[in-house]
Amino acid sequence: MNVYDSERMAETLVGYEQTDSPDDADMILLNTCHIREKAAEKIYSELGRYRPLKDANPDLKIGVAGCVAQAEGEEIVRRQPLVDLVVGPQSYHRLPEMETKIQSGARALDFEFPEEDKFEHLAKRPKAKRGPTAFLTVQEGCDKFCAFCVVPYTRGAELSRSAAQVMDEARNLVERGVREITLLGQNVNAYNGHPSGLAGMIWDLAAIDGLDRIRFTTSHPNDMDDALIEAHGSCEKLMPYLHLPVQSGSDRILKAMNRKHTAESYVRVIERLRTARPDLLLSGDFIVGFPGETDEDFEDTLALVREVGYGQAYSFKYSARPGTPAAEKPNFPADLASERLQRLQALLGEQQRATQDAMVGREVSVLFEKPGRQDGQMVGKSEYLHAVHVADSGAEIGDLRPVRIVESGTNSLRGKPI
């Protein structure tokens, strides 16, 4: 979602061109994430690196956008007075007015939740050709209030874009060369901008000529309804990859997290999905070291991982976020959290390697996205979201071609054209 927001912000700042080097910039705009403490603190160190640039060029404008801006707007200005602009994730449609203000020498701050829909006020996307894959935000915010999560406080309540808005933007992207769209939302399967929910939106998108692949992320187990499960089995353009976070395998910890599902109910959802689409590759999120997690709770998580089998997963040590209910709980021993994370990641790594090894000999469909590091090599993604390197394919960026997998690497596959 931050990638998508960054693209829209860049499109909003008419008259600017993107540069790869901050040394050449007239404006540096940092888009930020507040999910974990490490990500938030990184912003302040990054801003410190830009102080010499600001000293050398007083006309340089520096801004902070995104969820850290929403949560810590005043603190950012206090800690880093060099910042000219602070804008939250729901207000970046106001960037043109804010840019005019900072050019006059004033500071521009906007981290309130606006009443207007930012998507209604953003300029239409340009017609310039772009790469074959794209993100498209369809839903923002979350009403789940997990005890560890800051999203409801930085992104606000759940809000779904209208189906008409989504279709217009999707058609625009396809006209610009996009063949695969990933639908985004903090709780994307709670999307209700279409009368038939996310499944209905997927079926409408699947009717667009030239759009060959559809994905969505991130989902909540409680919102994986019958229609969406059925779509995984019957919609050819919906790819067989699903990111479905569980966070813990312990019902006691899940209750403390306010996840509102159990390990068993999660597994039952997975079983139904795999019945609909047997080759589904599953990804998940896990938190270790949540306050109060016992050895037994952690073993329950390992047991769930073994039962489900993940092709990919993200795992983290619990990071207390100010203002969330869990932040008030006693700290968990850091060394123990690190030890548990290593054990969990070792198990998840084994499953990922086994999943990739099992791809050897199989035929997959690869959407080529960029040249590889070696001459004549192209890199793309399979329907299972594996990175696939192919030599002497004769393919160009944007081609979708059958490939046979011949080798499994650490984080990617190697294939030969068919």
More confident residue, 127 or 152: 152
Q: What is the pTM of this model?
A: 0.87
Residue 118 is assigned to a structural domain of this protein: no
Residue 334 is assigned to a structural domain of this protein: yes
Residue 351 is assigned to a structural domain of this protein: yes
Residues 50 and 170 in one domain: no
List for the chain the helix, strand, coil content (%; round to 5).
40, 20, 40
Residues 182 and 226 in one domain: yes
Confidence of residue 125 (pLDDT cuts 50, 70, 90): confident
With CA atoms as reference, report the closest residue to 383 among 213, 184, 203.
213
Locus of tokens 């590759």: 281
Residues 339 and 209 in one domain: yes
Q: Alpha-carbon distance 266 to 209, whole Å?
A: 35
User: How much of the chain exceeds pLDDT 90, in percent?
Assistant: 80
b/e code 86-112 from CB counts within 10 Å (16+ = b): bbbbbbbbbbeebbebbeeeeebbbbe
Residues 321 and 399 in one domain: no
Domain boundary residue, one of 86, 110, 134:
110
More confident residue, 394 or 306: 306
Residues 74 and 166 in one domain: no
Residue 115 is assigned to a structural domain of this protein: no
Domain boundary residue, one of 319, 336, 357:
357
With CA atoms as reference, report the closest residue to 83 among 47, 59, 40.
47
Residues 276 and 340 in one domain: yes
Confidence of residue 375 (pLDDT cuts 50, 70, 90): confident
Q: Is the pLDDT of residue 124 over 80?
A: no
Query: Structurally, how many domains does the chain consist of?
Result: 3
Confidence of residue 35 (pLDDT cuts 50, 70, 90): confident
Q: Alpha-carbon distance 363 to 260, whole Å?
A: 39
Q: Judging by beta carbons within 10 Å of its beta carbon (0-12, 13-18, 19+), is residue 45 exposed, middle or buried?
A: exposed
Residues 325 and 387 in one domain: no
- Write out the two tokens for 397: 């960026």
Containing 230, the helix (H) or strand (E) segment is helix 226-234
Q: Give the mean pLDDT of 322-349.
A: 96
Considering only 113-122, 149-158, 296-305, which range has the smallest mean pLDDT? 113-122
Residues 369 and 349 in one domain: no
Residue 297 is assigned to a structural domain of this protein: yes
CA gyration radius for the chain?
Answer: 22
Residues 328 and 311 in one domain: yes
What mean pLDDT, rounded, does the chain reach?
A: 94
Identify the pLDDT of residue 376: 87
Domain boundary residue, one of 71, 86, 110:
110
Residues 42 and 140 in one domain: no
The sheet that has 241-243: what strands, in order across it?
Answer: 241-243, 281-288, 312-317
Q: Alpha-carbon distance 304 to 306, whole Å?
A: 5
Confidence of residue 175 (pLDDT cuts 50, 70, 90): very high
CATH number at residue 14: 3.40.50.12160
Q: Is the pLDDT of residue 28 over 90?
A: yes
Residues 178 and 236 in one domain: yes
Identify the pLDDT of residue 67: 87
Residues 230 and 347 in one domain: yes
Q: Identify whether the C-beta of residue 131 lies closer than 8 Å to the C-beta of residue 176.
A: no
CATH number at residue 310: 3.80.30.20
Q: Which domain holds residue 10?
A: 2-110
Confidence of residue 34 (pLDDT cuts 50, 70, 90): confident
Q: Is the pLDDT of residue 197 over 90?
A: yes
- Write out the two tokens for 56: 């050398």
